[in-house]
């Protein structure tokens, strides 16, 4: 009889935990798989990227220029912080942006100069800021950044997958 009572108590506690955690919102930004082509306005694009990468400097849009000439991206983010057993989130972010030339170093925090990095992901983003002048590459755990110092173009890739 004691085993039956113990089993009922365990079942009640387990159901209670499921009920308590099932409706909870995970911490951090929501899961997404978004391309810049889905967001028309440049300010909305910047706000979206900031939500997932944090605040970073961007250059102003030149008169009459399309948003693609200043910022293109693909953000795939899986928020794993909700549910009964929360875990670390997974992401792959690809960004090419025009930035003020005096702020290029901000994008390089924690990275070291690197050669031979796989930059094939640049083609996946489609038309955007010119990347043919990127001649400096930096890498670190889960990240790489390329710079065109003359034009103020940054190409940034980060992934945990």
What pLDDT, in 10s, does the model give residues 3-36?
444 444 434 334 344 434 444 555 778 989 999 9
pTM over 0.85, yes/no: no
Percent of the chain with pLDDT over 70: 80
Contact 79, 51 (CB under 8 A): no
78: Cα separation from own chain's centroid: 10
Distance between CA atoms of residues 84 and 89, nearest Å: 15
* Measured CA distances, 53 to 14, 47, 56, 73, 116 (Å): 36, 10, 8, 11, 25
- Region 104-118: what's the mean pLDDT? 92
CA diameter of the chain: 80
Q: What is the predicted pLDDT for the residue at 10?
A: 38
**Burial class, 95, CB count within 10 angstroms (exposed 0-12 / middle 13-18 / buried 19+):** buried
Q: In this structure, what token pair is assigned to residue 91?
A: 């992401």
Q: pLDDT (tens digit, 9 = 90+) per residue, 38-90?
A: 999 988 999 999 998 888 887 776 666 777 788 999 999 998 887 667 777 88
Task: Indicate the SS3 state at residue 93.
Answer: strand
């Amino acid at each position: 009889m004691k085993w039956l009572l113990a089993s009922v108590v365990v079942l009640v506690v387990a159901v209670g935990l499921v009920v308590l955690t099932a409706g909870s919102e995970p911490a951090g930004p929501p899961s997404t798989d978004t391309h810049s082509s889905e967001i028309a306005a440049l300010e909305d694009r910047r706000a979206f990227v900031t939500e997932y990468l944090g605040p970073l400097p961007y250059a102003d849009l030149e008169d009459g220029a399309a948003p693609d000439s200043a910022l293109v991206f693909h953000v795939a983010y899986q928020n794993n912080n909700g549910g009964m057993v929360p875990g670390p989130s997974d992401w792959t972010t690809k960004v090419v942006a025009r930035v003020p030339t005096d702020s290029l170093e901000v994008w390089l925090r924690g990275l070291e100069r690197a050669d031979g990095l796989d930059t094939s992901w640049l083609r996946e983003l489609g038309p955007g800021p010119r990347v043919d002048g990127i001649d400096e590459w930096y890498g670190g755990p889960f990240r790489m950044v390329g710079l065109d110092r003359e034009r103020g173009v940054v190409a940034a890739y980060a992934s945990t997958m």
